[in-house]
């Protein structure tokens, strides 16, 4: 973990995974699910790094939870919810811009090639990040709450965005997916969306009961 100072005076921990290369590598901001920067998110960061990237995974719960917060997938209501609800556009502005600045300043990173990937809560945050940061691309996995909370960000998307949905995901109805794609289409923003028919919410995470290997 590396800790950075942010514009609001707070400090935030970031998990960093680095690909091996003598050349500068593209950078990825990796945004957590609702359960913190846990072993799954770290393993995803490590796997992406092996493909030739530098990955920064910020602890966006730090404003309310402090450092190193994680909880079990069964503890959303009891442990994660207060911190989930404490994530606002104001806190994200500080955290995302601080992470982006640190990533771009990393001597191993090609600052002209920065993207963002997020899951669940992180999928929504990625949609927002792509509206406030000069990203080259973004990937949102089952981003709950984009509709209605972030629909106004559709016309501000910086890079092309890939939206991955679970066809069996009851947390994100088809009507919401249509609103999101409609808003992007009206704004003439480039995007691709795929709904994996046999997948549920959280299908990418091998530590969750909803993991679906074929879709992931």
Residue in 68, 75, 196, 59 with CA at minimum distance from that of residue 141:
196
Strands 25-31 and 54-58 come out as parallel
Q: Are 130 and 160 in contact (CB under 8 A)?
A: no
CA distances from 83 to 53, 174, 216 (A): 29, 27, 27
Q: In this model, does residue 207 exceed pLDDT 90?
A: no
Mean pLDDT for 175-182 is: 98
Rounded to 10 degrees, the C-alpha dihedral 198/205/173/69 comes to: 170
How many CB atoms lie under 10 A from the CB of residue 150?
Answer: 22
Label residue 15 by pLDDT band (50, 70, 90).
Answer: very high
Which residues are part of the catalytic machinery? 120, 169, 201
Q: What is the topology classification, in CATH, of domain 2-196?
A: Rossmann fold (3.40.50)
pLDDT averaged over every residue in the chain: 97
Average the pLDDT over each of 41-55, 73-87, 194-208 and give the range with the smallest value: 194-208
Phi, psi at 110, each rounded to 5°: -85, 105
Q: Parallel, antiparallel, or unpaired: how do β-strands 109-119 and 54-58 relate?
A: unpaired
pTM for the structure as a whole: 0.97
Q: Which 8-state DSSP code applies to residue 149?
A: I
Q: Could you tell me the CA-to-CA distances from 51 to 57, 88, 101, 155, 174 in Å, in that order? A: 16, 32, 22, 31, 33
Residues 86-139: tens digit of each pLDDT: 999 999 999 999 999 999 999 999 999 999 999 999 999 999 999 999 999 999
Task: Tell whether the model's pLDDT for residue 9 goes beyond 90.
Answer: yes
Residue 209 pLDDT greater than 90, yes or no = no
The pLDDT score that the predictor gives to residue 192 is 99
For β-strands 11-18 and 161-166, DSSP reports them as: unpaired
Could you give the C-alpha distances from 8 to 5, 49, 82, 93, 98, in angstroms and in order? 8, 29, 21, 10, 10
* Residue of 99, 85, 81 lying closest to 11 (CA atoms): 99
H helix runs in the chain, sequence order: 39-50, 62-65, 81-86, 89-105, 121-132, 174-186
Q: List, in sequence order, every residue forming a beta bridge with 115; answer none if it has no partner.
A: 28, 137
Confidence class for position 208, pLDDT limits 50, 70, 90: confident
Domain edges within the chain = 2-196
């Amino acid at each position: 973990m590396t800790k950075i100072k942010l514009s609001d005076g707070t400090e935030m921990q970031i998990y960093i995974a680095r690909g091996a290369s003598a050349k500068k590598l593209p950078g990825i901001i990796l945004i957590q699910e609702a359960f913190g920067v846990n072993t799954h998110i770290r393993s995803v960061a490590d796997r992406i790094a092996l493909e030739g990237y530098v990955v920064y995974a910020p602890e966006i719960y730090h404003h309310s939870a402090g450092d190193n917060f994680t909880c079990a997938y069964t503890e959303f209501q009891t442990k994660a919810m207060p911190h989930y609800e404490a994530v606002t556009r104001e806190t994200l502005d500080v955290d995302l811009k601080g992470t982006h600045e640190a990533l771009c300043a990393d001597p191993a990173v090609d600052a002209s090639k920065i993207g963002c990937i997020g899951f669940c809560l992180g999928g929504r945050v990625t949609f927002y990040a792509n509206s406030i940061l000069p990203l080259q691309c973004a990937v949102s996995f089952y981003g709950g709450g984009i509709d209605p909370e972030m629909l106004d960000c559709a016309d501000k998307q910086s890079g092309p965005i890939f939206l991955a949905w679970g066809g069996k995901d009851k947390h994100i109805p088809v009507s919401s997916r249509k609103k999101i794609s409609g808003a992007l289409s009206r704004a003439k923003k480039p995007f691709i969306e795929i709904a994996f028919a046999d997948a549920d919410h959280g299908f990418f995470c091998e530590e969750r009961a909803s993991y679906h290997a074929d879709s992931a």
